[in-house]
Amino acid sequence: MPTYDYACKKCGHRFEVFQSMKDPVLTTCPRCEQESLQRLIGAGAGLVFKGSGFYLTDYKKSAVTPPSNGGGDSSRTSAANGEKADRSGTQAPKAPAAEKPAVP
């Protein structure tokens, strides 16, 4: 149901009413009780987008696809840790990190 704005010509009281489109236009002001109400023409409510909605990017495939487990180039770089795989398909061990001296 739409919300209609009304204003009284006599006392200037303005208010909103939630009513059906089939309901008759109100004419009596609730404040001064005079037959001087006028229904105002409004711009209406704007669109309100709530939630994730449907956007152009919702169904796009990602530009980066994870490497498959079977076959292919075994010299790929692992996205997780930046290590290169050797020819057997196993990860090459990382070089040991330099130890930091203990701070007293």
The rounded distance, in Å, linking the Cα atoms of 35 and 26 is: 9
Q: pLDDT at position 74, please?
A: 47
String of b and e for 23-47 (b: at least 16 CB within 10 Å)?
eeeeeebeeeeeeebeeeeeeeeee
With helix as H, strand as E and coil as C, how does 44-72 read? CCCCCCCCCCCCHHHHCCCCCCCCCCCCC
Q: pLDDT at position 79, please?
A: 47
Sheet holding 37-40, edge to edge: 14-18, 3-8, 37-40
Q: In tens digits, what is the pLDDT along the chain, a chain of 104 residues? A: 788 999 999 999 999 998 898 999 999 999 999 999 999 987 666 666 666 666 666 666 666 666 666 555 544 444 445 445 455 555 656 666 667 667 76
Single pTM value for the model: 0.42
Q: pLDDT at position 48, please?
A: 66
Q: pLDDT at position 78, please?
A: 47
